[in-house]
Amino acid sequence: MSAVEVAVDETVPLTAWGRSEWQRIGARRPLLAATGLAYLAQIDVSLRPRSVSAADNALRVFIEFLDDEHPDVKGFAEVGRTHIEGFKRWLVRRRTAKGTPLTANTVRQRLGTMRTFFDRIIEWDWNDAPLRTPIFAVDLPIVDDPLPKFLDDASAARLLRAARGSTLLDRVVIELLAHTGIRVGELCDLERDAVFEIGKAWWLRVPVGKLHNDRFVPLLPSLVELLSEWVSTNADGGSGRLVTKDGKPLSRYQVTRILDRIAKHAGVGHVHPHQLRHTLATQAVNRGMRLEAVAALLGHRSLRMTAVYARIANTTVAAEYQAASEKVDALYRDLDVEESPAMRQLRQEHRRMLANGWCTRPKETDCAFEAICEGCGFFSTTIEFKPTLQAQRDHAAANGQVAREERYTKLLDAIEEPA
């Protein structure tokens, strides 16, 4: 199919403002507009509206760059490496409405979206496509990978206590987010009959969401009772939604305002709905829940998405560090501090620490390997080491290590004094 054949006013999922922008682009650059609109119409079939909107915005920004820097470019087939290198510099110089530079994440998103665009129209063999993709992975800036923000146990407990002292709607919203880990969009889309009893357990059916999959989430008995009370006292206004306000479906903005108000009352500062999802995942990993189970709970398609919580709550690392720290700290503890006889002996004989542990042989017993090199047939020594050998023999004698004392005595006897 040729992108040139698609009309500028082709029906695509655009806002009124976006459509007027494409109409203006079409007036001065018809080929770019035709290809861009045809691409948006194609991805609208398979992607979610927000993804289509992001592609729409990135395409219009790129065409704005071409207007500024390369007014001679009439179609995407003419775009080459030089244009992309200029686009990167242009993005860095660009400022937001507040006068601040674009973030690395925004630059990466714009470049990544355009890279995907070029990859696809080349694969689709469109007429207005370059011979090869002009954007490469190295063009995308490396962005920070911060840990997810979550509430510690004390803050989470204060938030839940504050919610339980508020209205029934506030309790439903916050306890659903905190105890199920669902996304705010999933909360708003919950259907009236989302609560199921399967066997002897209760489950919440989470609708198809961000990752195009639905799932069942286990419900605590207290949450089942709360939802039962909510359904029995609040009509859905014909919306078919589980959680409503004044009979209308709840929006993500209303959820955010509810959480802000309760968090402020609880004294835990600003809390975003997604933080409760991160909090539940962190609490679960901290208490030994397997990553596979956490992934199923959160609706992740890949364990790579869930593994980030292991970075926050690696209990194995914490336990091993604590055990090692206690042993190391014991070696340098003040003598006036009360300690067990075993730890005192370990501190006094810290020279017996080995590369991967400690020698636990009782001090009064002999060791066949303590002077293993000195007993080797290839071992050789000279008069210059006599003081050290004498000190080792005397130490063996003082500690009752007969075999070791004899070995050093033989070495000393074999040393010939210089003439």
pLDDT at 82: 95
For 352-386, give one letter per residue: b (16+ CB within 10 A) or e. Answer: eeeeeeeeeeeeeeeeeebbeeeeeeeeeeeeeee
State how far the alpha carbon of 358 is from the alpha carbons of 240, 255, 328, 400, in Å: 67, 57, 12, 21
Contact between 164 and 156 under an 8 Å Cβ cutoff? The reply is no
pTM for this predicted structure: 0.55
Of the candidates 39, 109, 40, 35, the one whose C-alpha atom is nearest the C-alpha of residue 66 is 35
pLDDT for residue 40: 93
Q: How far apart are the first and last CA of the chain?
A: 102
For strands 215-218 and 244-245, give the pairing.
unpaired
CA angle in degrees (0–180, nearest 5) for 260-176-226: 110
The amino acid at residue 228 is S
- Owner of token pair 């080491």: 385
User: Rg of the chain over CA atoms, in angstroms?
Assistant: 35
User: In sequence order, what are the beta bridge partners of 195?
Assistant: 204
User: How many angstroms separate the CA atoms of 394 and 138, rounded?
Assistant: 67
Residue 208: pLDDT band (50, 70, 90) is low
At 225-239, the pLDDT tens digits run 999 999 999 988 889
Q: How confident is the model at residue 400 (pLDDT cuts 50, 70, 90)?
A: confident
pLDDT, tens digit (0-9, with 9 covering 90-100), for 316-358: 566 666 676 666 666 555 545 566 666 565 555 544 555 555 5
pLDDT confidence of residue 325 = 67
pLDDT tens for each residue of 156-195? 999 999 999 999 999 999 999 999 999 999 999 999 999 9
Q: Which of 309, 287, 288 is nearest to 298 (CA)?
A: 309
Nearest residue to 59 (alpha-carbon basis) of 97, 24, 22, 23? 22
Q: For 216-227, write each residue's pLDDT tens digit.
A: 889 999 999 999
In 3D space, the residue among 20, 104, 21 whose CA is nearest the CA of residue 60 turns out to be 21
Q: Is the pLDDT of residue 419 over 50?
A: no
pLDDT-derived band at 384 (thresholds 50, 70, 90) equals confident
